[in-house]
């Protein structure tokens, strides 16, 4: 058992500890906004849709600000503006700004006034730095190593030799990313009533293999429920209502990123199936080549559980 940094008296995590997307289901309060907010990671972790929206918004807002500055300085200081109404002058000043910010500078419109020249020299500096910033953001977004691990929807309590075992399947979803030296940690957590005091307990589950050298396709993670297992002798009903959860931590070296990647997952009570076995996920193509059918990762067949001497699953 190892402590998990949740303190000793978490009594009410009715929605589980780890969400299905791998984030933690904990709300922290009392942190000043500026401390907890990572500017860079805000842009790194949002969706591409949102990211593009922000880029266009920022581009428009910055150009509008500079347009206003040029306007405030007087539009006489920019030559080449059309000699028309207010709106059109504002619009073309905006266009002048969009020629300065990305350092296009056609020159059909150009600053002549001193203040306008100062503003435009600042704008092109801001443009350069924005480009530098965008470069960093794009690189950050693309190069962030993310393991795309597919987990079987259910964890099974399956017959295994003379005993039973807790099993789930993981698959590497990335076609071009092989993972090596992959390690899995499985932690079993429940809420126990100790002297009328509800306390969350954590147990490290021993695995048949906790580390594999090559993770090309799929792996059935297997915890044998023997006398040393905290699950030994428990029946299905024992796990109900005690907020049981299996926390999964998978870590490995991704050969495409050439970096360590990790993935978090969790199975809760309703995700556990008693008395079942995973079906085969491999078959052979016509040319005799081995194929992994990842859409079969969730498939299982019903199977009779073994009855260990000191306990049994219903």
Binding residues among 208-227 for a copy of itself as defined by CB under 8 A: 208-209, 211-220
Cβ nearer to a copy of itself, comparing 241 with 307: 241
Counting contacts by CB under 8 A, is residue 197 touching a copy of itself? no
C-beta of 310: minimal distance to a copy of itself in Å? 28
Strand partners, 109: none
Q: What are residue 283's DSSP bridge partners?
A: 291
The residue among 125 and 235 lying less far from a copy of itself, judged by its C-beta, is 125
What residues between 265 and 294 interact with a copy of itself by CB under 8 A? 280-282, 284-285, 288-294
Question: Which 26-55 positions form the footprint of a copy of itself (CB under 8 A)?
Answer: 26-31, 35-42, 44-45, 55
Decide if residue 298 touches a copy of itself (CB under 8 A). Answer: no
> What's the min distance (Å) between Cβ of 69 and a copy of itself?
16
Site for a copy of itself, residues 117 to 176, rule: CB under 8 A:
117-118, 120-121, 124-125, 127-140, 142-146, 148, 150, 171-176
Q: Which residues pair with 267 in a beta bridge?
A: 246
Binding mask 239-258 for a copy of itself (x = CB under 8 A): --------x-x-x-x-xxxx
Kindly tell me which of 98 and 306 has the beta carbon lying closer to a copy of itself.
Answer: 98
d(CA 78, CA 95): 12
Give 240-245 contacts, CB < 8 A, sequence gap 24+: 240/269, 242/190, 242/191, 242/192, 243/13, 243/14, 243/16, 243/189, 243/190, 243/191, 243/200, 243/269, 244/188, 244/189, 244/190, 244/268, 244/269, 245/16, 245/17, 245/18, 245/188, 245/189, 245/190, 245/269
Half-sphere exposure of 41 toward its Cβ, with a 13 Å CA cutoff?
4
């Amino acid at each position: 058992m190892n402590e998990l940094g949740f303190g000793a008296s978490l009594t009410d995590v009715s929605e589980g500890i780890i969400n299905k997307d791998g984030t933690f289901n904990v709300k922290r309060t009392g942190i000043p906004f500026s401390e907890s907010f990572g500017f860079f990671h805000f842009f790194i972790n949002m969706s591409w849709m949102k990211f593009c929206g922000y880029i266009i918004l920022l581009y428009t807002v910055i150009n509008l600000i500079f347009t206003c500055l040029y306007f405030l300085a007087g539009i006489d200081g920019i030559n080449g503006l059309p000699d028309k109404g207010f709106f059109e002058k504002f619009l073309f000043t905006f266009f002048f700004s969009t020629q300065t910010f990305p350092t296009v500078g056609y020159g059909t419109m150009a600053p002549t006034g001193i203040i306008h020249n100062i503003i435009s020299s600042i704008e092109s500096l801001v443009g350069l730095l924005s480009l530098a910033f965008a470069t960093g953001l794009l690189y950050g977004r693309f190069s962030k190593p993310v393991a795309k691990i597919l987990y079987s929807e259910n964890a099974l309590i399956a017959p295994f030799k003379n005993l039973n075992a807790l099993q789930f399947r993981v698959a590497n979803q990335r076609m071009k990313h092989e993972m090596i030296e992959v390690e899995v940690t499985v932690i079993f957590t429940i809420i126990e009533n100790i002297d009328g005091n509800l306390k969350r307990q954590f147990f490290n589950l021993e695995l048949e293999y906790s580390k594999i050298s090559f993770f090309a396709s799929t792996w059935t993670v297997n915890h044998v429920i023997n006398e040393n297992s905290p699950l030994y002798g428990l029946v299905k009903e024992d796990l109900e209502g005690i907020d049981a959860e299996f926390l999964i931590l998978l870590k490995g070296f991704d050969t495409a990123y050439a970096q360590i990647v990790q993935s978090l997952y969790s199975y809760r009570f309703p995700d556990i199936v008693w008395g079942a076995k995973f079906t085969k996920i491999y078959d052979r193509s016509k040319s005799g080549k081995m194929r992994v059918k990842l859409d079969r990762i969730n498939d299982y067949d019903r199977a009779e559980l073994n009855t260990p001497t000191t306990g049994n699953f219903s």
